Amino acid sequence: MQFNLNGSDVEVRSHPMSRLLDVLREELMLTGSKEGCGEGECGACTVLIDGEPVCSCLVPVSQVAGAEVVTIEGLGGKHPLQELFMNEVGAQCGICTPGMIMAALTLPDDPTLDDVKTALAGNLCRCTGYSAIYRAVLKWKKAEVQSGFVDAEVQS
């Protein structure tokens, strides 16, 4: 079965009903997505499939044939949101962090706090109390919007 993973085409030989999470972690050695609950309730295993956040513990690998899958490793460890999670102490034990970041990537420009809370509602954190996570996401989106305006002014 073939799909695009973090910008590269891959082929896996797993059973079609194997969970995407297991294929990512065990066959492809991408351990950034975590298994928290195995039931799609905690969001620790969130990845993007064709741009949509999905709990990879619920997805049979056969469903990603021909799709584009992005994991936390696909961000290269230098994404501004990853840095803000660290700077704002939004990452403590690290179990929820990859899923939170992947879910946040789907937010529109200039989200409100309520937008952030809604986007991250499927991701549970037992360490931070969420304030630092929300702060990191809002700072990232604000900086992203501001840099977009700067780029537009330069091009004019």
Q: Please, where are the H alpha helices in 1-156?
A: 20-22, 80-87, 97-104, 113-119, 131-155
Which percentage of the chain shows pLDDT scores above 90? 80
Stretch 71-83: mean pLDDT? 94
| Domain coordinates in residue numbering, the chain | 2-148
What pLDDT score does 40 carry? Answer: 95
Residues 77-91 as b/e (b if ≥16 CB within 10 A, e otherwise) read eeeebbebbeebebb
Contact 48, 33 (CB under 8 A): no
Return the higher-pLDDT residue of 91 and 71. Answer: 71
- pLDDT of 154 > 60? The answer is no
Q: Which fold has domain 2-148?
A: Ubiquitin-like (UB roll) (3.10.20)
The pLDDT tens digits of the residues spanning 2-46 come to: 999 999 999 999 999 999 999 999 999 999 999 999 999 999 999
Q: What is the value of pTM for the model shown?
A: 0.89
Tokens of 79: 């994404």
- pLDDT of 152 > 50? The answer is no
